[in-house]
A and B are shown apart, each in its own frame.
Chain A
Amino acid sequence: MRTSTPARVGQYTALLAYLVFLAFPFLWLVSTAFKPPRELGSLHPTWVPKDPTLANFRQAFDEQPLLHAALNSLLAALAAAVVAVLIATPMAYVVARRRTRLAKAVTGWVVVSQAFPFVLLIIPLFLVLKNLRLINSVPGLVLVYVVWALPFALWMLAGYVRAVPPELEEAAAVDGAGRVRTLVSVTAPLLAPGIVATALFAFITAWNEFFFALVLLKTPEKQTLPVVLTHFIGAEGVADLGPLAAAAFLATLPSLVVFALIQRRITGGMLTGAVKS
């Protein structure tokens, strides 16, 4: 279809406006992170630091246990992602291949669980974990993250399973492969990319998660990165802008990198899950 020139101009103007809207807060964060205190105090802030410095990063590490927090985040997110995918994949397979009431119940639960106000979940979980002495511990947080990541993992994985033609499995069965062998040598390899994408997505959601971590982790040495970041904002809301920006920028980098790698797969997985169920 041909589009007229004025329409094209309009389209590009609109696109440019979107680009500015989407990019400017992030550019400002980066700019602030590299500014020396003198420029941060200036009444007329500039986009590009005149005298860029890494001092904010050093100060951020001095003020808060960022490295330790990043390690906690990494542990929690990795464990949650691995466990969630390990237990979700077989269930997703059943949900995708069979239209039983269980499959319907699981799909229903996936939808309903998206509507929970987390406060209704976190109070009992808090009490349960307290009795198990798992408050203020990363393993306790992992338990919560696994369950929290499950609905989405099931949703995505079921989409990937549906994309594997059942005929392939039937063919393997005709050739004499047993059930386990069919699953392991035919289905699993085809699912592998989807499983990796789902795990990475679960990783990012856990890496970014704030509410459960805020409630469950009490002492700084146990806290995850998002919780420690809020310590940079003082009680009165007064913040040391430079280190705050530096720490926030660093906390974003891992998810940005991972997300850039799997973006296509995530959207693809979500959509096959959404369209075909």
Chain B
Amino acid sequence: MTTVTEASPPSPPSPPRRKAGRRPGGGRPRRAVDHGAWFLVLPALIPILVLSVGPLLYGILLAFTDAQSGRTAPTRWIGALNFRDLLHDTLFWESFRIGLVWAVGVTVPQFLLALGLALLLNQDLRLRWAARALAIIPWAMPEVVVGIMWRLVYNPDAGILNETLRDIGLGGGRDWLSGLATALPAVIVVGVWAGMPQTTVALLAGLQNTPRELHEAAAVDGAGAWCRFRTVTWPALKPIALAITALNLIWNFNSFALAYVLTSGGPGGRTRLPMLFAYEEAFRYGQFGYAAAMGCVMVAVISIALAVFLAGRLRGGDDA
């Protein structure tokens, strides 16, 4: 809330310290913005505060209550009881572990594949346009459709995957999504496919920002392809690569729709991501307080991971 007050220049008690951050030499237009700032900012700020920041704080409060859906008795404050129960909830920690495996399992191969594709698209190749066009498809598709589509691919009888495997003599006939051992890897493949375009586009943008002259200079000096990648391409790409990887890890850890449509968390909970677990807890069993506590734990873990990541990035920022 304090930031809001500081945004309004006419409010008198603004010490010079705050003004120091402002860019010097504001001509007339900038002052014009100053006067209109409140008017311009409020339409978005109110919904953000009422429907996003507010509910988030409310959600954190709920985690300390016994809130349930459809209960007549009033909701009570129960302190950290939900968190204590959560600590002993082996199913939750199992889903947490699956969430981590899934997040890393999708993000890492996706990054490597996307890097390869971005490097290819950065070359003068004939089929480049086709790859660019195709790369749109996974991005534009609703996640539900992506899930349905891959169910058709994985279908044990009528699916193309088993048929292709039979054709090249690798057996086939597997029910990929129902197998205890194959379900999570099968879902991970879908996750990799679905997120390829965004990662590729981000990396491609990074590549196009690297100056061509550096490459040519390195080539003249006799540097091989790998050496050029290591000394010229990668340093320029690193900031974008780190940012997109961090975001991908978070998004994947929080993802829901793909696993919901592909397996609904099955078989035997092998693909029950934390969000699926929390969703069931909240909207199938009505345990709002408990599910909110799960959300808090997820936020806490993500925040810590993000903080560690950002600290690392700041340290690594000198050579980038």
Chain A residues engaging chain B, CB cutoff 8 angstroms:
1, 3, 7, 11-12, 14-16, 18-19, 21-26, 28-29, 32, 40-45, 47, 86-88, 90-91, 93-94, 97-102, 104-105, 109, 113-125, 127-128, 143-144, 146-147, 150, 154, 166, 169-170, 172-174, 178-179, 182, 204, 207-211, 214-215, 225-227, 229-230, 232-233, 237, 239, 241, 244-245, 248, 251-252, 255-256, 258-260, 263, 267, 270-271, 274-275
Please name all residues of chain A whose beta carbon is closer than 8 Å to the beta carbon of B294 when the two chains form the complex. 119
A25 and B153: CB pair below 8 A? yes
Q: List the interface of chain B (C-beta within 8 A of A).
A: 3-4, 6-7, 18, 21-23, 27-30, 32-37, 39-41, 43-45, 47-48, 51-56, 58-60, 62, 67, 113, 116-117, 120, 123, 125-128, 130-131, 133-146, 148-153, 155, 157-160, 163, 166, 178, 193, 196, 201-202, 205, 209, 215-216, 219, 225, 240, 243, 247, 250-251, 254, 256-257, 260-261, 264, 274-275, 278-279, 282-283, 288, 291-292, 294-296, 298-299, 302-303, 306
User: What residues of A have a CB within 8 angstroms of the CB of B128 in the complex?
Assistant: 15
Query: Are the CB atoms of B36 and A179 closer together than 8 Å?
Result: yes
Supply 12 A–B pairs (Cβ within 8 Å), ascending by A. Answer: A15-B125, A18-B131, A26-B141, A43-B157, A94-B33, A97-B33, A116-B299, A119-B298, A124-B56, A128-B58, A208-B142, A215-B279
B201 contacts across to A, CB distance below 8 A: 267, 270
Cβ–Cβ contact B158 & A22, under 8 A: no
Known contacts: A123-B62, A215-B283, A271-B205. The answer to whether A45 contacts B160 by CB under 8 A is yes
Asked whether B149 lies within 8 Å of A29 as measured between CB atoms, the reply is yes
Q: Is the CB of B41 within 8 A of A91?
A: yes
B148 near A119 (CB under 8 angstroms)?
no
CB-contact partner of B292 in A123, A128, A241, under 8 A: A123
B141 touches A120 (CB 8 A): no
A44: min CB distance to chain B, Å: 6
Q: Is the CB of B291 within 8 A of A19?
A: no
Whether B299 lies near A115 (C-beta < 8 A) is yes
With a 10 A CB-CB cut-off, give which of B27, B137, B278, B302 has the most chain A CB atoms. B137
Provide the residues of chain A in CB contact with B62, threshold 8 Å: 123-124
Identify 8 new A-B residue pairs, CB closer than 8 A, beyond the known A11-B125, A119-B298: A29-B148, A90-B41, A90-B43, A94-B41, A121-B55, A166-B29, A209-B142, A244-B151
Interchain CB contact under 8 A, A123 and B21: no
Look across to chain A and name the residue whose beta carbon is closest to the beta carbon of B45.
Answer: A91
In order of increasing CB-CB distance, the 8 nearest A-B pairs are A120-B295, A102-B7, A179-B32, A90-B40, A259-B140, A208-B142, A124-B55, A124-B58
Interface of B: prevailing SS: helix
Flag if A117 contacts B278 (CB, 8 Å).
yes
Contact of A25 among B6, B193, B298 (CB under 8 A): B193
Closest residue of A by beta carbon distance from B124: A3
* Closest A residue by C-beta to B144: A226
Cβ-defined contact, A237 with B143, below 8 A: no
Contact A230 to B144, CB < 8 A, known contacts A90-B44, A91-B41, A118-B254? yes
Query: Considering residues B149, B216, B302, which has the most beta carbons from chain A within 10 angstroms of its beta carbon?
Result: B149
Chain B residues whose C-beta falls within 8 Å of the C-beta of A128 in the assembled complex: 55, 58
Please measure, in the bound complex, the distance between the C-alpha atom of A275 and the C-alpha atom of B112, giving whole angstroms: 22
Of the residues B3, B117, B120, B139, contact of A259 by C-beta under 8 Å: B139
A115 touches B256 (CB 8 A): no
Complex-state Cα separation, A174 to B275, whole angstroms: 55
Say whether B116 contacts A100, CB under 8 Å. Answer: no
Residues of A within 8 A of B153 (CB): 24-25, 28
Q: Are B140 and A255 in contact (CB under 8 A)?
A: yes
Selected contact of A182 from candidates B29, B136, B298, CB within 8 Å: B29
Bound form: Cα–Cα A104–B55 in Å: 22
Complex: A87 Cα to B56 Cα, angstroms: 21
Which chain A residue has the least Cβ–Cβ distance from B18?
A101
User: A99 vs B152: C-alpha distance in the bound complex, in angstroms?
Assistant: 50
Which residue from B32, B44, B247, B295 sits with its C-beta under 8 Å from A123? B295
Q: How far is the CB of B245 from chain A (nearest CB, A)?
A: 14
Complex interface: chain B residues within 8 A of A259 (CB):
136, 139-140
Closest B residue by C-beta to A1: B219
Task: Check A101 against B261 for contact (C-beta < 8 Å).
Answer: no
Q: Considering residues A1, A41, A144, A245, which has the most beta carbons from chain B within 10 angstroms of its beta carbon?
A: A1
A254 to chain B: closest residue by CB? B140
> Are A115 and B302 in contact, with the CB atoms below 8 A?
yes
